[in-house]
Amino acid sequence: MLASGKGLACWQPRPQHSIEDGEGVMPGDVGMFSVQEGFQKIFNIWDDEDSLRKTAAAQGYEVPYNTPTKGVNITRREYSAGYTVVQGTTSETNYEADSQNVTGFQFRHLKRHPKGGVLAITSTAVSEKLAVSVQRLLYDHILQHAELLYRHAIASHNILDNEGLYIVTGCIKSASWALAGFSDPMVPPEDKLLLVRRRSGSRTGSSGDPQYVWIKRGTADGYSGTGEVSDSRDQCLFLRGYKLDLLQPLRLRVRGTKLSV
């Protein structure tokens, strides 16, 4: 999925923190990322400015801590329902007659690709990102306060010694999704994937969005899901941002004086 150029693909699009607000991942979020578990938020650069100031004061910062000016996030439609992002397969989207309502998707493995993945856009996906000028300010801010950000993160979360922090500058989110991946070649007749929209009384998820299920997955792993808040796009498909890693001596020094905030 990296070939799409949209950022880090999330195998687990569901938010790892509270999803009751219907927002999910937001620009400025700081946390941990893995392909399998997605993004796990620890704090937000702007929303948690007061807490960051307390950590800075506790660490004896000589100058007051201030976050860069945020401005307004840029939001736009990135994908329409029915679009697909694929690697190693063909794709076909099926629609209702005389309608743009998507009824399902079909994928077939390409023999020359031993592994690959597919993402079916089952509802409109939008991108939300910081303005370029704000991204540059944030980059300088991270360089200036790298140790503080790391201290603040480990004060409230168990971060592994070799784990870095991800600072989100942009993301692509939707209300529903379906994806599948394979790490070994799929051999006919198990080389087809078929995703369909439910047509029974349970055709929609808890948020009211259409729900899609894999009825054929070949030898691939396939998942699908929807948000839990009506009319929300809190399921994160792709992430963009910065990764903060500290050199081992500095990491050990910070951990040797861990705070409780």
1-to-11, 48, 106, 231 alpha-carbon distances in Å: 10, 32, 18, 26
Q: In this predicted structure, what is the pLDDT of residue 46?
A: 96
Q: In this predicted structure, what is the pLDDT of residue 210?
A: 77
Q: In this predicted structure, what is the pLDDT of residue 259?
A: 43
Q: In this predicted structure, what is the pLDDT of residue 154?
A: 85
Q: In this predicted structure, what is the pLDDT of residue 213?
A: 96
Give tens-digit pLDDT for 86-118: 999 999 999 998 888 999 999 999 988 999 999
How many other β-carbons are positioned within 10 Å of the β-carbon of residue 193? 27
Q: In this predicted structure, what is the pLDDT of residue 2?
A: 67
The rounded distance, in Å, linking the Cα atoms of 243 and 134 is 17
Please give the model's pTM, rounded to 2 decimal places: 0.86
Q: In this predicted structure, what is the pLDDT of residue 160?
A: 65
The rounded distance, in Å, linking the Cα atoms of 220 and 186 is 8
Residues of the chain with pLDDT under 50: 200-203, 206, 258-261
Q: Please give the angle made by the CA atoms of 160, 148 and 250, to the nearest 5 degrees.
A: 55
**Closest of 218, 209, 66 to residue 140, by C-alpha:** 66
Domain boundaries, the chain: 2-255
Q: In this predicted structure, what is the pLDDT of residue 73?
A: 94
64-to-25, 57, 103 alpha-carbon distances in Å: 28, 8, 56
Contact 206, 228 (CB under 8 A): yes
